[in-house]
Amino acid sequence: MHKTSSLSELGFDPSGASSGFFRPVADDCPLTPSSLSVPHGRLTKISVIGAGNVGMAIAQTILTQNLADEIALVDALPDKLRGEALDLQHAAAFLPRVRIVSGTDPAVTKNSDLVIVTAGARQIPGETRLNLLQRNVSLYRKIVPQVAEHSPDALLLVVSNPVDVLTYVAWKLSGFPASRVIGSGTNLDSSRFRFLVAEHLDVNAQDVQAYMVGEHGDSSVAIWSSISVGGMPAFKSLRDSHHSFDEAALEGIRRAVVGGAYEVIGLKGYTSWAIGYSVASLATSLLRDQRRVHPVSVLASGFHGISDGHEVFLSLPARLGRGGILGVAEMDLTEAEVTQLRRSAKTLWENCQLLGL
């Protein structure tokens, strides 16, 4: 008996099949087959800019998951940087063979496939958000153009906070097409969201589909309408079986997700491991062309009523592959969720306009 291996053998046309689910970002450089292909006979290089707690957690996770043949570390503090690089190199006998290089000059990132930026100015007590943003823009002016020059074909993944605004800054300064500039966005927020729902229902978090979208911050939006568990819509069941799931309770859960990082920082002084795993999952989807869907910060112009003229980055579920952002999911949102998302976009757009880029 002949076994069917694809829907095309059943008469379905595979060309453009994903277009009903995903729409490309507003990009001056459309994806082509050559831009999506993985170079043959080439080693994979990942660079991490910023060797702080977050940067090193990302580097360590990437190293242990065997995602790269070479890892380049860049930081402004040479002694700390050399110490971190040596610490990883000394574990060579226990890890996959990976070349680790480091330096204070971004030239060490030359020919990277993926550049992850975690560097950012820390907020000074009493400092305004705008002043902090301006200092981060100044830092990015020193980093991003050099990275783009040394690795003109790289994917650029921004992790520094405020991640949505800084992803916009990186896009402007790099000159890269929007499909190749990605912010870590609400990928980790969504994981926290899934964890809370999974704990409540006593299931594995991997069986929960739940997204936080919009800003990675106070105005993020929990998409309750599309939550599913094991492929089954879950929100109506949750409300029917738990009368405590009223609007106030839902907002409380959203705030718990948003405040998750602050709780960790309050307890241990910083966050590191969860963001390390989150970014490594993004690196895997990108470099191994996994076509997985992640809520990441993308150019959101034209989505869900966000003005085409507003070049704003915020998180939406996006399909990731070797070419970067391969498409953004056309989510079916409630009117309330759309309103909240547009409000989040407006806040981010106003912040971007103050930067004068």
CA distance linking residue 35 with residue 342, whole number of Å: 32
**Candidates 2, 40, 90, 216; catalytic one:** 216
Q: Which phi and psi (to 5°) does residue 330 adopt?
A: -85, 85
Give CA angle at 266 (262, 268), nearest 5°.
Answer: 115
Catalytic-residue membership of 216: yes
Instruction: Return the residue matching tokens 């399909």.
Output: 319
In 3D, which of 186, 184, 176, 242 has the Cα closest to residue 214? 186
Structure tokens that stand for 48 in this block: 């991490």
- The answer to whether 159 touches 150, Cβ cutoff 8 Å, is no
Give how far Cα 116 sits from Cα of 8, 23, 245, Å: 38, 25, 39
CB-based burial of residue 332 (10 Å sphere; 0-12 exposed, 13-18 middle, 19+ buried)? exposed
Give catalytic residue positions: 216
